[in-house]
Structure 1
Amino acid sequence: MTRLSYLIGIDGGGTGTRARLTAPDGQLLGLGSAGPSALGQGVPQAWRHITDAVAEAFRTAGLAHDAQQARSSDPALTARCGLGLGLSGAENPGWVRDFRAAEAAGAWGHLALDTDGYAAVLGAHAGRPGALVAIGTGSVGEALHADGRRLTVGGWGWLLGDEAGGAWFGQHAMRIAQQAIDARAPAGALARAIWADCGADRPTLLDWCAGADQRRYAELAPRVFEHEAHDPAAAALIATALDAVRSIADALDPRGELPLALSGSIGRQLRPRLAHAMSQRIVDPAGDATDGALRLLQRSLQSCR
C-alpha cells in the first residue's frame, strides 16, 4: 500500500457532503463541503460532490495545488489519500457495487465505506459503545453495543420512512397544504406558508411535487418549526416526530443502558422539545460523522496491516 499523506473523512447525506482533511497523525488541516452525495440520488453525483468537498478541504488548508489535483482526481495526489466515507444509502448492496465500480473509486490510496448513520455513531461516542438517533434530511438510529453488536433502526429512505427527518416534515407539510386547498383541512399558517413557497392552486402544487426530490421536500421543514406556536397542524407534526425519536431510541436500547446522542439539523431542533425522562438520557456528541468516517478509515487501515 502506498504511504498515505492525508486521511479524509466524508459525511455524505441527502442535502450535503462534508469533508474533514487530516494529516496521518490526526492533525486537522482543512474542512470542505459540497452538494448531496446520498447514493440514492445517483453514483455520479455522489462522486462529483465528494470530490468537490475534498478539494474545498484542501483549499481551506491552504494547499491550493493539492486542491486543484483533488478536483481533477489526479492520481499523483489521490493515491496518497485515504478516504473514509459515511454515505446515506450505503446499506443498499447495488448502490455500493456501483459506487465502488466507478472509475473514481480506484483513484484513492485506500477507501473505507459504510453508512452515514454508522459513521455518526462512531463519531458521537468516539468509537465506544453508544446509541445515536441522527435526524437531518432523513433519519436513522444506530447502536454499537458493548459486545460488538451493531444495530440499525429506521433509515428506510425518504419515500417510505425516515420519520422526523427533513424530507418527512416537508412531505407532511405539503399534504396539509394540499388538503387545505381541498377544504379538507383548515388553511392555517403552515398551509399558507407552503402555498407561498410552492404555489397556492392545484396545478402549481402538482407541478412542484412532480419535480420535487428529497432535498426539496427537506427545504420545507423549517416552515413547520416557524409556525409551531400558532398552528395546531405544525405542532401536531412536531409531536409525531418526537414520538418517532422515542420509538427509535427504545428499539436501539430497550433498557436504556447506552449513552444516547441526538444529532443532525432536525435532531438539534427536537432535542429541547423531548420529554424530561428521555432528555435526561441524552449526552452531547463527542464528534460528528466526519470524525466517525475517519475512525472507520483508521480501523480499515489497521485491518490491512
Structure 2
Amino acid sequence: MPKYYLGVDGGGTNCRIRLADENLVTLAEAGGGPSNLQLQGGEPAYQSIIAGIESVFSQLGGDAAAAKAQTSACFCMAGGRLPSDRDEFQRRAWPLANVRVYDDIDAAHAGALAGEEGAVIIAGTGSAALAVVDGKRHQAGGWGFHIGDQMSAAILGRELVRRTVEAVDGLVSGSPLTDALLESLGGDLNGVMAWSFPEYFVTDEAGGKSAGAVAVDPVTTGGHTYDGFTVTRAPTEWGRFARMIFEYYEKNDPVAVELVELELSYVDTYVRWFKARGAQRMAATGGLGERLYPILKERYGEFIVPPQGDNLSGAVILARQNFSPA
C-alpha cells in the first residue's frame, strides 16, 4: 500500500488541504472555512479540516479508509502560537495514521526554503519570524495584533490612521496620503472614530435586534477564560490600508515614505536577530513581504532570497519530514 502525505494551511479566513504521494506529487486538493485555533476553541477549524480530508480522499478514489490509514499529516494553523492549543488540537479524533500540529510560521518556513535551513518572516495581515540553524529552531513574533505583529499590514495600516488623525489635529504634517485616508473614512475625524468602533447588534430572546450595544462572549483559551472585551475593527480591516500606503509610496508621498521606513525598521530588528543566531539567508512571505521584496533585496543584498513555495507546500514537506520512514 502506498504512503501519502497530507498538508493543511489553516488560515483565519479559510484553509487549504493537499494530499500528495511519497514524492510530494500533488494528488488532490480541497478548500475549507476559517481555521484559526483561537476561534471557538478550534471547532470551526476541526470541522473545516475534516470536510477537506473527506474531499481529497473522495478525489483520490479507491478504498478511502485504507488510504487514510497510510496517511501522515501536518496541520499548520493560524492562531497556533501556544503549544497548549496545538497539543489540544492534535489530540482530537483524526481519521489518519499520524497528525502533527504546527504554527503557521512553520509552514511558511518549510515552503519558502523548500524544507531547508535559513530564516523566514511572514509579513501579511499579521507577522512572525522563524529561523532554523544547525537543526535548532528560533521563533519570534506571531503574538497577534494587540501585543505584537510589528511587521504586519495591520499595524502599518493602523499607523497610517493614527498619523492621519494627528495631521488633522495639527500635531504633525499631513500629505496627499493622509488626505486620501481621511476621505475614505468619511472626510472628518468623527467618521474615522465611528469607523474604528463599528456598531454591533445584540439579538434579544425574541429574535429582535437592539442597536448600539456591544456584547462579546467570554473566550476560553489555554485553560483560562477571559471577558471584558471591547469590539473594534479586525486586523484585516486595518491591513487593507497598506495597499494605499504603497500606492502613494510610488508617488514619493512623504508620509508613505516615512511609514515604509517604519516598516523596514521593524524588519531590521528581525534581520539582526536572525544573523545573531547564524542564519545565512532570509525569505519574506505574505502579501506585504512579497511587496517589500525588491526593497529588501536592495537593503540586505544576498541575505534575501525569493520564496520557493507557499504555506501549503510547506505543510506537505513537514508531513514527510516528520513521518517518512527512516
On whether the aligned pair clears a TM of 0.5, the verdict is: yes
Preserved contact between residue 15 and residue 35 of structure 2 (Cα < 8 Å): yes
CA 1:31/1:191 → structure 2, altered by over 3 Å: closer, same or farther? farther
Preserved contact between residue 13 and residue 88 of structure 1 (Cα < 8 Å): yes
Normalising by structure 1, report the TM-score.
0.79
Preserved contact between residue 84 and residue 294 of structure 1 (Cα < 8 Å): yes
Preserved contact between residue 133 and residue 279 of structure 2 (Cα < 8 Å): no
**CA separation in 2, counterparts of 1:37 and 1:195?**
34
Deviation per CA, 1:84-111, whole angstroms, max 9, x where unpaired? 1122332213432553455xx5344432
Preserved contact between residue 297 and residue 304 of structure 2 (Cα < 8 Å): no
Preserved contact between residue 4 and residue 109 of structure 1 (Cα < 8 Å): no
CA 1:181/1:277 → structure 2, altered by over 3 Å: closer, same or farther? closer
AA partner of residue 194 (structure 1) = L
CA 1:278/1:160 → structure 2, altered by over 3 Å: closer, same or farther? same
User: Aligned pairs, how many?
Assistant: 289
- Single out whichever of 152-161 and 136-145 deviates more from structure 2: 152-161
What SS does the aligned partner of 1:132 have? strand
CA 1:131/1:203 → structure 2, altered by over 3 Å: closer, same or farther? same
Which protein is bigger by CA-based radius of gyration?
A: 2
What SS does the aligned partner of 1:284 have? coil
**CA separation in 2, counterparts of 1:302 and 1:137?**
33
AA partner of residue 206 (structure 1) = M
2:200 match: none
Q: Offset of 1:64 from its aligned partner?
A: 9.4
**One of 206, 213, 219 as aligned partner of 2:240:** 219
2:281 match: 259
**One of 12, 15, 18 as aligned partner of 1:17:** 15
Deviation per CA, 1:14-70, whole angstroms, max 9, x where unpaired? 4553333323442213444455533334423433554566677x4xx993989xxxx
Matches within 5 A, 1:94-109: 94-100=84-90, 105-109=93-97
Q: Which has the higher helix share?
A: 1
Q: Does 1:140 align with 2:95?
A: no
**CA separation in 2, counterparts of 1:51 and 1:217?**
31
Preserved contact between residue 38 and residue 87 of structure 1 (Cα < 8 Å): yes
Preserved contact between residue 90 and residue 100 of structure 2 (Cα < 8 Å): no
Deviation per CA, 1:94-149, whole angstroms, max 9, x where unpaired? 432553455xx534443211111122222222222211122111112211112x11
1:165 match: 152
Gapped regions of structure 1 (runs ≥ 5)? 67-73
Preserved contact between residue 246 and residue 278 of structure 1 (Cα < 8 Å): no
CA 1:34/1:185 → structure 2, altered by over 3 Å: closer, same or farther? farther
**CA separation in 2, counterparts of 1:12 and 1:281?**
29
**CA separation in 1, counterparts of 2:31 and 2:320?**
22
Q: Does 1:174 align with 2:161?
A: yes
1:245 match: 267
Q: Does 1:150 align with 2:132?
A: no
Q: Does 1:125 align with 2:120?
A: no
Preserved contact between residue 281 and residue 302 of structure 2 (Cα < 8 Å): no
What SS does the aligned partner of 1:106 have? coil
**CA separation in 2, counterparts of 1:284 and 1:99?**
32
CA 1:5/1:126 → structure 2, altered by over 3 Å: closer, same or farther? same
Gapped regions of structure 2 (runs ≥ 5)? 198-231
- Single out whichever of 122-131 and 255-264 deviates more from structure 2: 255-264
**One of 146, 155, 176 as aligned partner of 1:189:** 176
**CA separation in 2, counterparts of 1:48 and 1:183?**
51
Q: Does 1:297 align with 2:295?
A: no
What SS does the aligned partner of 1:128 have? coil
1:83 match: 73
**CA separation in 2, counterparts of 1:220 and 1:29?**
38
CA 1:219/1:65 → structure 2, altered by over 3 Å: closer, same or farther? farther
**One of 25, 28, 35 as aligned partner of 1:37:** 35
Identical amino acids, percent of aligned pairs: 28
Q: Offset of 1:295 from its aligned partner?
A: 2.2
Preserved contact between residue 14 and residue 214 of structure 1 (Cα < 8 Å): no
Deviation per CA, 1:218-246, whole angstroms, max 9, x where unpaired? 22221111111243112111111112112
Q: Offset of 1:187 from its aligned partner?
A: 4.5
**CA separation in 2, counterparts of 1:291 and 1:284?**
15
**CA separation in 1, counterparts of 2:72 and 2:184?**
42
Output the aligned Cα RMSD: 3.3
- Single out whichever of 13-22 and 167-176 deviates more from structure 2: 13-22
